[in-house]
């Protein structure tokens, strides 16, 4: 029977990636004005909810569409004693922008929006 000699070699593999020798520091992207406004609104929402305000889910549809055509478009926190409808219409312009950004097919129909809400 012939004898076979087995030799094992240990290999050290190190992944280097694509960055090269020196990694370039990444510049932090400046927030847009819209992002700053949305961040402020989110903080307001959290503050009102923490203070015992009521939280609602907001829905939208084109006026006169069938009953099952409501589309979710966000949440809103309302201080105790305030009406959800008045808060929606106080913030209608940014709400319309957010709806069109989420549902591009509704662009051009902003005047026909109908809003609904459910308590969370």
pLDDT digits (tens, 9 = 90+) for 32-73: 887 888 888 889 889 999 999 999 999 999 888 888 789 999
Q: What's the 3-state SS for the chain?
A: CCCCCCCCCCCCCCCCCCCCCCCCCCCCCCCCHHHHHHHHHHHHHHHHHHCCCEEEEEEEEECCCCHHHCEEEEEEEECCCCCHHHHHHHCHHHHHHHHHHHCHHHCCCHHHEEEEEEEC
pLDDT of residue 19: 61
Is the pLDDT confidence value at 99 over 90?
yes
Give the pLDDT score at 71: 93
Query: pLDDT grade, residue 30 (50/70/90)?
Result: confident
pLDDT tens, residue by residue, 67-81? 878 999 989 999 988
CA dist 48 and 42 (Å) reads 10
Full-model pTM: 0.66
């Amino acid at each position: 029977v012939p004898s076979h000699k087995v030799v094992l070699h240990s290999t050290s593999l190190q992944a280097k990636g694509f960055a090269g020798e020196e990694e370039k520091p990444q510049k932090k992207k400046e927030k847009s004005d819209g992002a700053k406004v949305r961040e402020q609104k989110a903080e307001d929402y959290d503050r009102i909810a923490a203070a015992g305000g009521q939280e609602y889910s907001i829905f939208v549809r084109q006026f006169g569409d069938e009953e099952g055509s409501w589309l979710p478009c966000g949440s809103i926190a309302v201080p105790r004693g305030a009406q959800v409808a008045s808060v929606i219409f106080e913030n209608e312009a940014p709400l319309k922008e957010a709806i069109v950004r989420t549902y591009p097919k509704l662009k051009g129909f902003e005047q026909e929006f109908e809003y609904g809400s459910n308590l969370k």
